[in-house]
Homo-oligomer: A and B are copies of this chain.
Amino acid sequence: MAMKVLRSDAARSRERILEVACAHDRGDLRLNEIAREAGVGVGTVYRHFPTVHALVEALSMTTIERMVELSRRSLADPDAGSAFSSYLRTALELQLEDGGLQVVLLSDADESPDVRAAKQEILHSFDALLRRAQQAGAVRDDLTAERLSHLICGIEHAVRLGSADDREPLLQILLNGLRPEVARS
């Protein structure tokens, strides 16, 4: 990944800003406030992050990278079914950990090329994982990667409405629901 080298003071500012910002609600970032808390001028924040979305992306960058890693690992797993379900589980965990991830993943207005590239890799891998699982008969066929992503976001939403303890139970319901319907006596 291309990485512009920053002057050390600029790098420090950037870090300070991210450090401070991640303690804030992603949906309600006040640039002035962050600047003040970070001990830098507002202008500096704008220099590093021209839009709020750019800052949100940057805050999610680490998680996105972890998601890329996850994709690769899952694709390398020979068991299509378990690769798929453990991918979903971990993706859900990551989205719950990082409150800004959902909007970054869903946005189609990426500011950073790195983010765009990573998201594409994630999407492609996810698509492949899903297809493999479908071909293995572990997942119902009437399902696209996009719908499924939305469903994960829906589960994330549901967990946030309740407590973190709901995560695994709700995930189980989802996984159960994704299996091809079986004939019942």
Contacts and interface: CB of A to CB of B under 8 A. Distances in A.
* Copies of this chain, tallied across the complex: 4
A30 interface: no
Contacts of A172: 177
A19 interface: no
Contacts of A36: none
A10 interface: no
A48 B86 CA distance: 52
A150 B178 contact: no
Nearest to A169: B142
B151 A173 contact: yes
Interface in A161-185: 161-162, 166, 169-170, 172-179, 181-182, 184
Contacts of A140: 173
A87 B158 CA distance: 19
A158 B102 CA distance: 12
Contacts of A142: 169
A169 B57 CA distance: 31
B162 A158 contact: no
Contacts of A157: 150, 153-154, 157-158
A158 B154 CA distance: 5
A38 interface: no
Contact of A150 (B143, B147, B161, B177): B161
25 contacts: A140-B173, A143-B169, A143-B173, A146-B162, A147-B162, A147-B166, A147-B169, A147-B170, A150-B159, A150-B161, A150-B162, A150-B170, A153-B157, A154-B154, A154-B156, A154-B157, A154-B170, A157-B157, A172-B177, A174-B177, A175-B177, A176-B176, A176-B177, A176-B179, A177-B178
